[in-house]
Each structure stands twice: as structure tokens, then as C-alpha cells.
Amino acid sequence: MRDPEVLRTRKDFDRVYRNGKSVGDRYVVVFFRKNKLEHKRVAFVASKKVGNAVVRNRARRLMKEALRLSAYELPAGYDYIIIARNTIGDAKCQQVQKSIESALRRTGVIPKS
């Protein structure tokens, strides 16, 4: 059974890119949009600009782990696309975590502290 909290279809990605808002930080760019659902959907993306397959997979794992370790829970009712920048290649998990939290604070979906 598929996880309902993963953004999968091209139509959903296009909808977030076209109608959503974005905030960038040093290591990531966060796109987000309300989704009219009772749960959140998240996608982690690393393009070929980031590096070869090994580097891209490491970037996605870093972003997933950084979000998991974050003190904040993403609110339900939104679609999120978290995109790795090419600077993420030699970053540590804690640096990526701070970058994601900073971007999410500026989106307004998590409280500023």
C-alpha cells in the first residue's frame, strides 16, 4: 500500500510549482501549497545539477533525515516539495536541518521563534 503522505503524480507537482509559493535557503528550496486534504504530502527532489546518482541519493536522504530530526512537525493540509540545491553536496545533516527550518519559518507554515 502506498503512503498517502508522499507527493507522487506529475499533475500534483505541476500544481505546486505553478500555484504554490517558494522560499529558498542555502541548501534547499521549499515549494508549498494548500491541498484541501486532511494530511500533508511531501516530496524530496534532487536534480542532476546536484551531482551523480550517489550524490543525489545522499542529498535526498539528508533532507529526509533533517526533516525527521527537526523540532517542528509540518502542518497538515499542505503539499511540500523540498528541492536540494547544488551546495548540499558536502553539507552535514545539522546544516541541512537548519536550512530547512529557516526556509519553513519564512514560509509561515511553522511558527517563528
Residue extents of the structural domains in the chain: 10-101
Locus of grid cell 503512503? 3
Cα–Cα distance for residue pair 33/13, rounded to 1 Å: 10
Q: Which of 12, 5, 11, 21 is nearest to 77 (CA)?
A: 5
Class of domain 10-101: alpha beta
CA dihedral 106, 57, 2, 77 (to 10 degrees): 0
| Cell numbers representing residue 74 in the block | 509540518
The model's pLDDT over 33-47, given as tens digits with 9 standing for 90+, comes to: 999 899 999 999 999
Kindly report, residue by residue over 68-113, the tens digit of the pLDDT: 998 888 889 999 999 999 999 899 999 999 999 999 999 888 877 6
Would you place residue 1 in the very low, low, confident or very high pLDDT band (cuts 50, 70, 90)?
low
Q: Cell numbers of 79, please? A: 503539499
